[in-house]
């Protein structure tokens, strides 16, 4: 089951706004923004918020653990999207960020992402620094969130199909960027549920993907729902569930 991505009321603390156009490389053939493009936009706006607040000076990186996206209407090609983002909860080593996106053509999406803090040098989990509470504590308002992952393992039997990892998929942390996982989800959606568009999607990230991993895509379809797993001999790297409906 997809967890709620409703942003709810505007928090009393910091809300950061960023603007991103839907460019040619962001749009599906039907003109809607793709899930991987949304992931890149969310990542960029979160980075801009961190830089603007001074948090980027802290010796840590943020790694996405879980992300959920729900759309009333997807932003479309050449529309400008305004993203409003804030911290909606915390844990010992992680924080949840909620983002509302509204486009110039009437698009509206809501997203919730759980980001884990890791030390820049070691890559190990690190506690949220004191500056975090000064910047985002009021918006989080004491709400605690869990980092527990809930998606099931893939069924026994299906071998899936290869998903080659390219050098361009690797980011500055040395692993496949989270947006690339969403590319696999979009590709499998087009193959398994042609003619349908996503209305809600959630991805859980379990194990970093390295360039040398021989990754396979496994998927299952049940009605208008699609489940996707990215796996290798090392285990399940990521999983996703998508609710889709017929295009208008």
List of domains in the chain: 16-140 (3.10.129.10), 161-246 (3.10.129.10)
Q: Tell me the pTM.
A: 0.94
- Which pLDDT value is given to residue 8? 45
pLDDT in tens, 35-73: 999 999 999 999 999 999 999 889 999 999 999 999 999
Percent of the chain whose pLDDT exceeds 70: 96
129-149 average pLDDT score? 95
On whether the CB atoms of residues 87 and 97 are closer than 8 A, the answer is yes
Task: Note the pLDDT of residue 156.
Answer: 82
Query: Does pLDDT of 3 surpass 80?
Result: no
Question: At which residue do the structure tokens 């305004």 appear?
Answer: 82
Mean pLDDT of 145-149: 95
- How far, in Å, are 6, 32, 99, 180 from residue 230 at the CA level? 27, 24, 26, 11
Report pLDDT for 5. 55
Q: Which strands make up the sheet holding 108-119, listed edge to edge?
A: 16-21, 80-90, 94-103, 108-119, 60-73, 196-205, 235-246, 225-232, 216-222, 161-162
Beta-bridge mates of residue 64: 115
* Phi, psi for 60 (deg, rounded to 5): -150, 160
Length of the chain: 248
Confidence of residue 29 (pLDDT cuts 50, 70, 90): very high
- pLDDT digit string (tens) for 77-91? 999 999 999 999 999
> Residue 70's beta-bridge partner residues?
110, 200
| Residue 225 dihedral angles phi and psi, to the nearest 5° | -115, 145
């Amino acid at each position: 089951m997809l967890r709620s991505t409703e942003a709810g009321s505007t928090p009393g603390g910091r809300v950061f706004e960023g603007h991103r156009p839907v460019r040619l490389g962001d749009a599906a053939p039907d003109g809607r923004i793709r899930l991987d493009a949304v992931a890149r936009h969310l990542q960029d706006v979160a980075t801009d918020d961190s830089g603007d607040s001074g948090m980027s000076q802290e010796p840590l990186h943020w790694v996405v653990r879980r992300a959920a996206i729900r759309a009333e209407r997807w932003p479309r090609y050449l529309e400008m999207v305004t993203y409003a983002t804030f911290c909606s909860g915390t844990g010992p080593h992680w924080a949840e960020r909620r983002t509302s996106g509204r486009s110039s053509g009437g698009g509206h999406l809501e997203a919730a992402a759980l980001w884990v803090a890791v030390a820049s040098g070691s890559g190990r989990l690190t506690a949220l620094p004191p500056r975090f509470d000064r910047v985002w504590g009021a918006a989080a308002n004491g709400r605690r969130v869990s980092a527990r992952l809930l998606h099931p393992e893939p069924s026994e039997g299906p071998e899936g199909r290869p998903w080659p990892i390219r050098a361009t998929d690797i980011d500055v942390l040395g692993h496949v960027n989270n947006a690339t996982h969403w590319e696999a989800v979009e590709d499998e959606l087009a193959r398994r549920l042609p003619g349908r568009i996503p209305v809600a999607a959630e991805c859980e990230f379990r194990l970093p993907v390295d360039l040398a991993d021989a990754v396979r895509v496994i998927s299952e379809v049940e009605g208008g729902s699609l489940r996707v797993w990215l796996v290798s001999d090392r285990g399940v790297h990521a999983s996703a569930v998508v609710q889709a409906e017929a295009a208008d």
